[in-house]
Amino acid sequence: MNDATTERGLYLNAFADGSAPIDMTKTDEFASLLQSAGDLDIPHSPDIAYQSCNIVVRHQRFHFLEWGAADAPTILLLHGGHQSAHSWDLVSLHLAQKYRIIALDQRGHGDSEWARNGDYSNLTMAQDAHAFVQAIGLQNPIVMGHSMGGRNTLLLTRMDPSYPRALVIVDVGPETMEAGRKTISSFVKKNEIFDDLEHFVRNVREYDPYRSREHIERTVKYNMLERADGKYISKCDYRRWRGEIEVHDENRDSISLDDVGKFEMPALIVRGENSNILAPDAAERFRDALPQGQLVTVPECGHNVHSQNTLGFIGAVGEFLSSLE
């Protein structure tokens, strides 16, 4: 456990508290992750490089996780809304056997700084990602994004279509279902503050029946922190969900099928079989619009494909990654 305190409270997870990275393989969290990987039969190596890092980009501090050998082919991971870089941990652990994995905590999420100006538009976060990869010197990585991170990936690619080597877009696209967005928004708004972590675990279990209680309990520390009065609050910037931040112009964040039709790199769309965000016909239109588009539907999961059926996800993604070699 990290006993670092901030103006928002006591962190429950370990992470670098300065400019120097810390070795995450020495933490109890890594041992817990290996236990989850063993429970789920996720292929992995316990002898893997894994560290927590900070960087200041665009006048803001960003936290990120780095896995694997520094000279391996690189994959940049962008998480979904109200999640963090740790949402990819099982996937990162597996892929780090062959790849260098960079998982970014996007602004206002995880252990990155909240945005002083309250700007959480997809376009702004795409610009963050663009500046971040330039700052750490990533050259033509594969970019993988889920939900919010998937939209950010598409906008990042539109900014510079020559930059990504390949794309993996997880359960999102130019066309999404309003009902699913409302379900996610409702869950987030109802899970901001608790007297104890057990209450939050019960709510997550009800919202996400695909994940085991044990896995949820092991990862709750990445979602909440303890406030000075002993209550537990979400680590994400709650101002955007309370309506305390002015809603930005959504046209800035729009991406169309015509836009993605200009993406010449190989691209894989991963859809959850029971997704309430990406409908089957919308996923097919998305695939058909991409010059080198592929689509795979992973069974026994919903919107959070990579955490709800991790084995199915890494199987689908692994085949795509192998084709790039």
Tens-digit pLDDT profile for residues 273-299: 999 999 999 999 999 999 999 999 999
- What are the pLDDT digits (tens) for 37-88? 999 999 999 899 999 999 999 999 999 999 999 999 999 999 999 999 999 9
Q: Give the model's pLDDT for residue 7.
A: 40
Q: At what angle do helices 122-136 and 148-159 cross, to 10 degrees?
A: 70
What is the model's pLDDT at position 250? 63
Task: Tell me the C-alpha distance between 283 and 22, whole Å.
Answer: 40
Q: Which residues, 6 or more positions from 123, have their beta carbon under 8 angstroms from its beta carbon?
A: 155, 252, 253
Distance CA 233, CA 74 (A): 34
Predicted local distance difference test score (pLDDT) of residue 3: 40
Q: What is the pTM of this model?
A: 0.95
What DSSP character marks residue 113? P
CA dihedral (180, 222, 157, 266) positive or negative: negative
In angstroms, the CA 320 to CA 325 distance is 9
In one-letter notation, the amino acid at residue 260 is V
Identify the segments of the chain with pLDDT beneath 50.
1-8
Q: Are strands 267-272 and 50-57 parallel, antiparallel or unpaired?
A: unpaired
CATH code at 5-324: 3.40.50.1820
Compute CA 224 distance to the chain's CA centroid, rounded to the nearest angstrom. 16
- Whole-angstrom Cα distance, residue 244 to residue 250? 17
Question: Is 13 buried (19+), middle (13-18) or exposed (0-12) by CB count in 10 A?
Answer: buried
CA separation (Å) from 182 to 28, 185, 217, 276? 36, 5, 25, 10
Place of tokens 């965000």: 277
Contact 282, 269 (CB under 8 A): no
